[in-house]
Amino acid sequence: MAEVFRTEYRVAWADTDAAGVVHFSRYFLFFERCEEEFYSFLGFSFKDIAEQGLWFPRVEAFCQYKKPARFNDLLLVELCVLELKEKSVRYGFAVQNKESGELLTSGHLVVVAADKRTGRATAIPRMFVDKLAAYVKQVL
Amino acid sequence: MAEVFRTEYRVAWADTDAAGVVHFSRYFLFFERCEEEFYSFLGFSFKDIAEQGLWFPRVEAFCQYKKPARFNDLLLVELCVLELKEKSVRYGFAVQNKESGELLTSGHLVVVAADKRTGRATAIPRMFVDKLAAYVKQVL
Amino acid sequence: MAEVFRTEYRVAWADTDAAGVVHFSRYFLFFERCEEEFYSFLGFSFKDIAEQGLWFPRVEAFCQYKKPARFNDLLLVELCVLELKEKSVRYGFAVQNKESGELLTSGHLVVVAADKRTGRATAIPRMFVDKLAAYVKQVL
Amino acid sequence: MAEVFRTEYRVAWADTDAAGVVHFSRYFLFFERCEEEFYSFLGFSFKDIAEQGLWFPRVEAFCQYKKPARFNDLLLVELCVLELKEKSVRYGFAVQNKESGELLTSGHLVVVAADKRTGRATAIPRMFVDKLAAYVKQVL
């Protein structure tokens, strides 16, 4: 059974726009922050990776907006692995209002392992793949 | 034949991240800025619209990343109307490096007309629909 | 003796710029986030305040940069009250690298209580002043 | 007589916060963008500078807020050189609402020339100093 990684985020004043709600672009930062905390949780060291000469550029980003979040709301951000390939990972994200339990947004990021020098896609390191495997969502 | 709206954007230092390239989330701001300039170009007054009690929240955002942009690059941002419905518009965007002509990213935003008080989707004002019609991309 | 409020912040990838360090403008967001967490810690409810028809606009912002922060660094952000007046508060901030203990930046924000309708400066609510008093830094 | 460099900036929706005005931290981005356009205007090539192995980190940032800006406002951003030293420049900035002529904010940035490898302050290149000299504000 697939596992889900969960983290929380408190909406800052600077996340809001003149409609009084979180600006749509900010959810991509919430997704990325959740991904960063996921890597820390897995014991994945950014310094080690940097020394191996890898980047993790995004090749695709998507979000659907169902309900707005407002200043000071506590959000629950969930990550799962939708697809794990040799050179890329598709992460799925869902953001809920933690108090009400309502789903606010859902989306995905496709991340590629790339060689810093050449910029070309490269295989995701074995140790990392092994850890990600537990989070791959099974589609029946 | 469908028209395309074009605008330019000079990459700021603050748009970049530690990989030396524009952060992926920034392209959504470039899309939105292009949309804002498009409205100004159409003679569409934000004050009039606000007085009619409308918002234009986004319900979907998508971007694919092909090549990176760097500090001080001049970008050409193009907008077309992929779909025009009673209550929503799907804008398509493409971002090129103006000097090299290379396509960097492409994506879309789905924007809904909403009543400020109730938050519910509402018909896009007639005058606005008429102006948008010329930008609808014909699919043959 | 004056008290200090402390919070932590993990540097996100999106906080960095092409020099590989946190962009200078981001520290103002770290200051503001610390202030928001301070209000929550004091049991200060944003909804109550909003219902009283108050804003807290900033009238001055200042930061000095001593050493850079990098992606994934854990920061310790400290707040104290440098000056408490009838209608405004001057908060002092210091940001350290939590691991090394090095001071990275220090600065201040001057925040004014303002009436939402008129926009004019107004007295800070009594209950709030009482709570802030313990954090006023004594200058001998 | 000292010269002033002027540029314009149209406030984007993403610059605003839930108070319906431009977030205070954004003015630092307006200052920096004006500085970038100033360098372009001087014919100062970022690629040349990068090849000389220089950065221009900020060591101090300050802003005072007098009146708010709102979505779609056209701003006039002015830069002058308050102080020109061997290794640093203090730029002064003023932001006006272009239509009303009202002063919205004023502030400064202190920028240091630094060696990319060592991170240490270094002399500003001669050619650049010569161009900046015309913008030094004379205090009588």
Angstroms from B43 CA to nearest CA on chain D: 13
pLDDT value for B85: 96
C44 touches chain D (CB under 8 A): no
Count of CB atoms within 10 A of residue D120's CB?
Answer: 10
- Per the CB < 8 Å rule, is C32 touching A46? no
C100 touches chain B (CB under 8 A): no
Q: What is the pLDDT of residues C31-69, one digit of tens each?
A: 999 999 999 999 887 777 777 888 899 999 999 999 999
Q: What is the pLDDT of residues D78-108, one digit of tens each?
A: 999 999 999 999 999 999 999 999 999 999 9
pLDDT value for D140: 54
Least confident of B116-120, C55-59, D136-140: D136-140
Q: Name the pLDDT band for C1 (thresholds 50, 70, 90).
A: low
Residue D17 clears pLDDT 70, i.e. is over it: yes
Closest Cβ opposite residue D32 in set B12, B32, B40: B12
For chain C, the chains sharing at least 3 beta-carbon pairs closer than 8 angstroms are A, B, D
Please identify every stretch of chain A with a pLDDT value under 70, giving residue numbers as ranges: 1-2, 138-140
Length of chain B, in residues: 140
H or E stretch at A82: strand A74-84
Angstroms from C14 CA to nearest CA on chain B: 6
Show the tokens assigned to D61: 């940032």
H or E stretch at C7: strand C5-10
For chain D, the chains sharing at least 3 beta-carbon pairs closer than 8 angstroms are A, B, C
Query: Can you give the pTM of this predicted structure?
Result: 0.96
Residue B67 clears pLDDT 90, i.e. is over it: yes
pLDDT above 70: percentage of residues in chain B: 96
Q: How far apart are CA B46 and CA D11, in angstroms?
A: 12
Q: Which residues of B105-131 are buried (b: 16+ CB within 10 A; e: fewer)?
A: bbbbbbbbbbeeeeeebbebeeebeeb
Q: Which residue from C minimizes the CA distance to A34? A: C12
Q: Which residue has the higher pLDDT, D45 or C35?
A: C35
Under DSSP, the state recorded for B22 is B
Pairing status of strand C74-84 against strand C5-10: antiparallel
- Within D1-140, where are the H helices? 26-41, 46-51, 126-132
pLDDT value for B139: 59
Q: How far apart are CA B36 and CA D11, in angstroms?
A: 10
pLDDT value for B20: 93
Q: Name the pLDDT band for B127 (thresholds 50, 70, 90).
A: confident
pLDDT value for D1: 55
Determine the residue type at B2: A
Q: How far apart are CA C138 and CA C135, in angstroms?
A: 9
A29 touches chain C (CB under 8 A): yes
pLDDT above 70: percentage of residues in chain D: 96
Average pLDDT, chain C: 92
H or E stretch at D76: strand D74-84
Token pair 């090549």 is at which residue?
B67
Q: Which of residues 114-133 of D touch B (CB under 8 A)?
A: none
pLDDT value for C119: 84
A29 touches chain B (CB under 8 A): yes
B11 touches chain C (CB under 8 A): no
Which chain B residues are within 8 Å of C17, Cβ to Cβ?
A: 13-14, 16-18
Residue A108 near residue A35, CB atoms below 8 Å: no
Strand ordering across the sheet containing C74-84: C5-10, C74-84, C88-97, C103-112, C58-65, D58-65, D103-112, D88-97, D74-84, D5-10
Please name every residue paired with B78 in a beta bridge, in sequence order, or none if there are none. Answer: B6, B94
Q: Name the pLDDT band for D137 (thresholds 50, 70, 90).
A: confident
Q: How far apart are CA C93 and CA C80, in angstroms?
A: 7
Angstroms from D19 CA to nearest CA on chain A: 6
C-alpha distances (whole Å) from B74 to each of A15, B35, B70, B98, D2 are 27, 18, 9, 6, 30
Q: What is the pLDDT of residues B15-63, one digit of tens each?
A: 999 999 999 999 999 999 999 999 999 988 777 777 788 889 999 999 9
pLDDT value for C139: 59
Pairing status of strand C88-97 against strand C103-112: antiparallel
Half-sphere exposure of C117 (CA within 13 A, CB side): 3
Show the tokens assigned to C28: 């103002």
pLDDT value for A119: 84
Q: How far apart are CA C31 and CA C49, in angstroms?
A: 20
* D137: nearest Cα among D90, D75, D74, D70: D90
Closest Cβ opposite residue C14 in set A29, A40, A71: A29
Q: What is the pLDDT of residues D48-69, one digit of tens each?
A: 777 788 889 999 999 999 999 9
Show the tokens assigned to C29: 């967001």
ipTM: 0.95
D59 touches chain C (CB under 8 A): yes
**Residue B31 in 3-state DSSP?**
helix
pLDDT value for A51: 76
DSSP, residue by residue, A10-75? EPPGGGB-TTSSB-TTHHHHHHHHHHHHHHHHTT--HHHHHHTTEE--EEEEEEEE-S---TT-EE
- Per the CB < 8 Å rule, is A14 touching D25? yes
D28 touches chain A (CB under 8 A): no
Fold of the CATH domain A5-135: Thiol Ester Dehydrase; Chain A (3.10.129)
pLDDT above 90: percentage of residues in chain B: 78
Show the tokens assigned to B73: 């690059």
Which chain A residues are within 8 Å of B18, Cβ to Cβ?
A: none
Angstroms from C117 CA to nearest CA on chain A: 16
